[in-house]
Structure 1
Amino acid sequence: MPYFESPVDGTRLHYIDHGPATGPVAVFAASAYLGHEMWEYQTLPLAEAGFRCVALDRRGHGRSEDTWNGYDLDTLADDLHGLLDHLDLREVTLVGHSVGSGEVIRCLSRHGGDRVARAVLVAGVSPGVVRSPGTPDGWDPADVRADDEVFRRDRAAYFTALADDFFAVHRPGNQVSPHYVRHLIDCCLGATPRAANGVRAVVAALDLAGELPALDLPVLVVHGTHDASAPLSLTGERAARLLPDATLKVYENGGHGLFATHAARLTADLREFIEAGVVRTGEPAAARAAGR
């Protein structure tokens, strides 16, 4: 299995690397509690179509090493950029779901775009969902703290109770089998308690409104109309307004788990967006800009 060491503290982090080494590169950052497995409906068909798909298991998630420290946005973003350095990836499209969108944004604001050509925010919680200077209409921090107590008391019950809302199964077309729901809950429970609570704290403190206007690259924002975890008006629409070069695609009836309920559509949109950055087969847009 492929692993590399975090440039921050040497934590051993797992990733997948699928598809041809010469294909257009997409690097995926997962939702809270989940690892690379959440992206199976995107990484497998894209890799089969000739794209190189790399997906990271965040520290304390999936097959990556558990740690006590490092559950802050800067460290998580540095872990993500460390993977790009480890594989010496260029002209990357960074794809982040939920809190992964925050890791993508902070990775770009901390490390620049030398390795990254494009970015995709899928059901992102960015710029933020909890009340802060940048999100004055966000959720009440007291309500978030109360929710944290419920989460700490019984994570298994928490994930199970929220599964229907996560996938917005009450909306037309959002069918997911109970077997898949159980699988994803089991994956969520694979995140260590420390990692799970640490990432929740990252979401609670997220305030990226000031960083988005400085991201000088094309960004695709994908969001569902019925996302209970990251309401469209608070996140996707606001992120698209703040970004200088954003394309917003709104999925009717889509919930937070649209990577499964709208899998084929998301995969097609990712493919179209990534290919738009390729001028000719194997030649990135930056090469043409440099006169090569």
Structure 2
Amino acid sequence: MTAPFVDIADGHRLFVRDWGSGRPVLLLAGWAMDSRIWGATMVALQAAGLRVTAYDRRGHGRSTDPGRIDYDLLADDLAAVIETLDLNDLTLVAHSGASGEVIRYVTRHGAGRVGRIILVGATGPCMLAGETNPNGVPREGFEAVVAQIETNLASWIEDNAQPFAPTASTRVINWLSTMVLDTSRRMAVDFQRVIGEADFRQEAAAIDVPVTIIHGDLDASAPIDLTARRFAQIVPQADLLVYEGVAHGIMITDAQRLAGDIVAQSLR
């Protein structure tokens, strides 16, 4: 890699961290988070002899803001990073809403460069309640969350930051809160809607590479019975690792354990 940015459509750019050499692992952060959230995990993965890459999603961190987002665009952004860095036999690690980026990437671009997928605290495969998903999130509750993010994001953060990583220090919680506030509000609002309204049940069922699902059983943002356990039932080659007593922010509270599991899965 010759520069810390990868070009995407319309003159916009993604900021990329690309460390070390060896078998590649690419990490994607969740909603309103950027590549910094993976810091401790990245250090551990590089120390284990892996090439570790993470980038800031459009409108997040140091990447530019095209003002539009959907899973097709995000999958194409991911493809641009993978192709620019020429990553092969790649382990793709996706947290929370980034799970949809990885699934859509495989749907749109194939899995030829991918050796394994690891979903961490994944949202989906289908979050909103409906005729075929009666146990999902009610539409009215979802709309209330989107409205609060749009008009009073600071209040939403006050209610949700600590449950994200219950054992984290006040300094870390403040850092995570600032990361959310620094995200493009357009991206934060629209990506929340994209995540909630997506239905990946058919696409997940068609994934033809091994998938490891890592999920905390105290995850309030993506309750395990609505998300991870359903992915484990749908995805053909899926293994489920449950972290007991762990919430959504696994890479914050359990970075070393997570890194160890990523290394073990990457080298299988």
TM-score, with length taken from structure 2: 0.96
Question: Residue 146 of structure 2 contacts residue 193 of structure 2 at CA under 8 Å; is this kept in 1?
Answer: no
Residue 132 of structure 1: how far off its partner (Å): 4.2
Task: Supply the distance in 1 between the matched residues of 2:259 and 2:177 (Cα, whole angstroms).
Answer: 23
Q: Deviations over 1:38-95 (max 9, x none)?
A: 11121111112211111121000010001222x1111011101110011111110011
Q: Would you say 1:217 and 2:216 are equivalent positions? A: no
Find the counterpart in structure 2 of residue 89 from structure 1. 87
Find the counterpart in structure 2 of residue 63 from structure 1. 62
Question: Residue 149 of structure 2 contacts residue 188 of structure 2 at CA under 8 Å; is this kept in 1?
Answer: no
Q: Deviations over 1:74-129 (max 9, x none)?
A: 10111011100111111100110001111011111111111111100000002022
Find the counterpart in structure 1 of residue 49 from structure 2. 50
AA at the equivalent of 2:45? L
Task: Supply the distance in 2 between the matched residues of 1:76 and 1:133 (Cα, whole angstroms).
Answer: 28
AA at the equivalent of 1:2? P
Task: Supply the distance in 1 between the matched residues of 2:142 and 2:114 (Cα, whole angstroms).
Answer: 34
Find the counterpart in structure 2 of residue 2 from structure 1. 4
* Secondary structure of residue in 1 paired with 2:27: strand
AA at the equivalent of 1:39? W
Count how many residue pairs are aligned between Structure 1 and Structure 2. Answer: 266
TM-score, with length taken from structure 1: 0.88
CA RMSD for the aligned pairs?
Answer: 1.3
Residue 10 of structure 1: how far off its partner (Å): 3.6
* Secondary structure of residue in 1 paired with 2:214: strand
AA at the equivalent of 2:109? H
Task: Supply the distance in 1 between the matched residues of 2:15 and 2:132 (Cα, whole angstroms).
Answer: 33
Task: Supply the distance in 1 between the matched residues of 2:146 and 2:205 (Cα, whole angstroms).
Answer: 31
Partner residue of 1:137 out of 135, 138, 147? 135
Task: Supply the distance in 2 between the matched residues of 1:129 and 1:117 (Cα, whole angstroms).
Answer: 27
Larger Rg: 1
Find the counterpart in structure 2 of residue 11 from structure 1. 12
Task: Supply the distance in 1 between the matched residues of 2:255 and 2:11 (Cα, whole angstroms).
Answer: 34
Cα 1:132–1:105 change in 2 (3 A) is farther
Task: Supply the distance in 1 between the matched residues of 2:4 and 2:101 (Cα, whole angstroms).
Answer: 21
Partner residue of 1:75 out of 66, 73, 76? 73
Task: Supply the distance in 2 between the matched residues of 1:46 and 1:163 (Cα, whole angstroms).
Answer: 26
Percent of residue pairs bearing the same amino acid type: 36
Question: Residue 134 of structure 1 contacts residue 207 of structure 1 at CA under 8 Å; is this kept in 2?
Answer: no
* Secondary structure of residue in 2 paired with 1:210: helix
AA at the equivalent of 1:159? I
Runs of 4+ in 1 over 4 A off after TM superposition: none
Partner residue of 1:236 out of 208, 228, 234? 228
Find the counterpart in structure 2 of residue 284 from structure 1. none
Q: Would you say 1:198 and 2:199 are equivalent positions? A: no
Residue 134 of structure 1: how far off its partner (Å): 5.4
